[in-house]
Amino acid sequence: MKTAVIVTTYNRPDALAAVLAGYEAQSTKSFELLVADDGSTSATREVVDRFSMRAKGSMQHVWHEDLGFRAAAIRNRALATSSADYIIFTDGDCVPGRDFVATHQRLAEPGYFVAGNRVLLSDRFTTETLSKSYSLCHYSSIQWFLARMRGDINRLSPLIRLPEGGAWRKTSPDRWEGVKTCNVAVWRDDLVRVNGLDETYSGWGLEDSDLIIRLLHAGVKHKSARCAAPVFHLWHQENDRAGLAENQKRLDTILASRRVRAEEGLDQYGG
């Protein structure tokens, strides 16, 4: 199974460097890494080039012009660039644990997408982490416990490791709520079947929910990666949510239908 990790980023090179360091430290090197760049300046390219020079596996920088928030489009472009069988979507402000990729690979199962969760870092801890180049993927259980006691992270529960083969991982097969593209893995064939992400969503919000709902409409079920493959979400100010109301209307339409394919999606790029 050829695996690709698609990391979406926009003008946050310090956070991206921490994320790429996390992928550099993965327990498996058997994956392709694509940085899906939503129009960043040259500072981001410099970070990618620096890590590319020492990468043990394939690493690509997929960029398009900055025309506003177009995460769906850059993810589709990156997906079309890769020939991997299995795609792990994440973000350029989400640092993976050391076994993140290997765990997703073990949890992969035909007919399912696999959704993990995240631990939120505080503003203070994020600043400290980035300024001192802390390696979050090597943090011990005691260090995370102390971080929680200080209020540096919002919860410990995602860090509790439960058996990967537990039957409970499939007990909510139709759940879409809470699934985010900062930590979700999908078979390429299933993404092609639903035409990838829908680029008709304007600005920030809900394009990831739309994708998951259409996957469910296509018969792909939810499998949980909670307590197995968390990411550590670096703090940032909230994105502009000016288009959220309109995006909610689009999502409500999808929920009320059985539509599977994106209106403007992956097929534009020959993926």
Record the tokens describing residue 73, joined without a space.
């489009």
Among candidates 3, 203, 17, 206, which has minimal Cα distance to 93? 17
Dist. CA 104–CA 99, nearest whole Å: 9
For residue range 248-266, what is the model confidence (pLDDT) as tens digits?
Answer: 999 999 999 999 999 999 9
Among candidates 250, 251, 246, 187, which has minimal Cα distance to 219? 187
Contact call for residues 26 and 102 (beta carbons, < 8 A): yes
Work out the average pLDDT over 211-235: 97
Q: pLDDT higher for 243 or 7?
A: 7
Distances (CA, A) of 170 to 185, 214, 226: 15, 18, 11
Say what the pLDDT of residue 114 is. Answer: 98
Phi and psi torsions of 269, nearest 5°: -110, 10
**Cα–chain center distance at 88:** 6
For residue range 170-215, what is the model confidence (pLDDT) as tens digits?
Answer: 999 999 999 999 999 999 999 999 999 999 997 888 999 999 999 9
Say what the pLDDT of residue 137 is. Answer: 82
Helix (H, G, I), strand (E, B) or coil at 78: helix
Dist. CA 144–CA 150, nearest whole Å: 10
> Per-residue b/e over 167-197, b at no fewer than 16 CB within 10 Å?
eebeeeeeebeebbbbbbbbbbebbebbbbb
Tell the burial category of 67 from Cβ atoms under 10 Å away from its Cβ (0-12, 13-18, 19+): exposed
Work out the angle at residue 102's Cα, subtended by the Cα atoms of residues 96 and 108, and round it to the nearest 5 degrees. Answer: 110
Amino acid in position 11: N
Give the confidence band of 271 by pLDDT, cuts at 50, 70, 90.
low
Report the CATH fold assignment for 3-269.
Answer: Spore Coat Polysaccharide Biosynthesis Protein SpsA; Chain A (3.90.550)
Dist. CA 35–CA 177, nearest whole Å: 26
Contacts of 143 (CB under 8 A, 6+ apart): none
Say what the pLDDT of residue 101 is. Answer: 98
Length of the chain: 271
Residue 117 CB coordination number (10 Å): 21
Most confident among 24-38, 127-141, 232-246 (mean pLDDT): 24-38
Among candidates 243, 242, 245, 184, which has minimal Cα distance to 213? 184
